Structure 1
Amino acid sequence: MTMRGASVAWAALVLTGCLRSTPTRDAWVNDTSIEFPPFFEQPAVEAGADGGTVELSGRVLHAIDVAAADFLGPQDSSTPCVDRRESHRYRVIQRQGILFVRIDEDPQACGLTVPAMDSGAQYAVGSDGRILGRLRDGEPDGARVPMDAGPGILVPASEVGRSSDSPPGP
């Protein structure tokens, strides 16, 4: 192969590598029809309890991993204790082919006594591993329909901001 031919082959290889898209996580689907189950309605079986054997399918483990990666982000040695995956507790419920994952901070893992406010989240993960729904603690639940406050009272623009009380003083 000539020097020119090698240069063309090298340029084609570099361009092919540049054109290939960088692998990124698929955007999650926010399916508002999904209703999250009550995670604390029944006691959970704790994995790692003395003498107990727990078996997790690869699909369950993948759903937990997908939810934890979304909720806690990338992990490295500088990640603070409260943001580490091992400093959280996970509950999983499977319903109608969807794996629901609940993530809560475990304050004892970091030597704390109480978790931070709004430190958990719920995920609905499809059989293909995509996040179908996410609800972080403190966010409004889109599945709940707001109650009707009834008919409003029309206020003329000239009255907006006015007080019916007289100002104090002489």
Structure 2
Amino acid sequence: MATKRFILPAALLLAGCLRNPSTRDALVGDTSIDFPAFFEHPAVEAGADGGPVELTGTVLRAVELAAADFLGPQRADTPCPDRPEAHRYRVIQRQGIIFIRIDEDPRFCGLAVPGLHSGAQYAVGSDGRILRRLRDGEPGSSLTPTDAGPGIPVPTSEVGRSFDPPDGSVPLPFLIGPGRDAGTATSPSEGSFMAAPP
């Protein structure tokens, strides 16, 4: 009887470990793969001039795989900005790797600007495996930081200096005056903190 009570929690724990996103992320984080400059050259847009565009099945599968990974499961009530058709896809194929750049197309949903961090880059192998994923806003470990320059030196006498000493000899500016308390209707005399007169 005690064994049966132990089996269900153990099975649930094992199922949770199998779906651990950190393990999944480790599998798609091959930092030896560098992404190309997707916007270095103008792209040919499918259907822009009415001419035919041919995609191999491998490229189509890679785009579908990247879109499904980036956007997640789709339902009838999926918000417009989270649908595949509300995005633009830029594809570059090099050395057996299909590189895909996904960006939100706000005009599709009647918006003026895309959401913050609404894009991603994918490297997909010809076998259909995601080799690397880099969402906008995530640090790309293969990117070398640019030097910010020498900057402006701060005199040693100014390091850590505040303009009003915190020892109480000068009241803090937000405690002075008859201002109202953060959005309430009480006046300072009815309960707000004020500095004691010197």
Q: Tell whether the structures are fold-level matches, with TM greater than 0.5.
A: yes
Tell me which residue corresponds to 2:126.
127
Residue 113 (structure 2) aligns with: 114
State the 1:76 CA deviation: 1.7
Give 2:38's aligned residue. 39
CA distance in 2, matches of 1:56, 1:31: 26
Does residue 102 (structure 1) correspond to residue 134 (structure 2)? The answer is no
Secondary structure of 1:63 counterpart? helix
Q: For residues 147 and 110 of structure 1, what CA distance do their matches in structure 2 show?
A: 36
Match of 1:59 in 2: 58
Amino acid of the residue matched to residue 86 of structure 2? S
**Structure 1 unaligned spans of 5+:** 1-23, 149-162
Over alpha carbons, which structure has the higher Rg? Answer: 2
Q: List 4+ stretches of structure 1 deviating above 6 A.
A: none
In structure 2, the CA distance between the partners of 1:103 and 1:164, relative to structure 1 (3 Å rule), is: closer
- Whole-angstrom CA distance in 2 between matches of 1:123 and 1:63: 9
Distance 2:41 2:143 in 1: 22
Distance in 2, matches of 1:147 and 1:76, equals 42
Query: More relative contact order in 1 or in 2 (CA 8 Å, sep 6+)?
Result: 1
Provide the rounded CA distance (Å) in 2 between the counterparts of 1:111 and 1:65.
Answer: 24
Could you give the per-residue CA deviations for residues 136-155 of structure 1, whole angstroms, max 9, x where no partner exists? 0111111024579xxxxxxx
Cα distance between partner residues in 2 of 1:117 and 1:164: 36
Note the alpha carbon deviations across 1:39-77, whole angstroms, 9 max, x for none.
001110001223211000000000001100000001121
Q: Secondary structure at the match of 2:39?
A: coil
Residue 144 of structure 1 aligns with which residue? 143
- Equivalent residue of 1:135, what SS? strand
What percent of counterpart residues are identical?
Answer: 67
The secondary structure found in structure 1 opposite 2:92 is strand
What SS is found at the alignment partner of 2:99? strand
Count residues in correspondence: 135
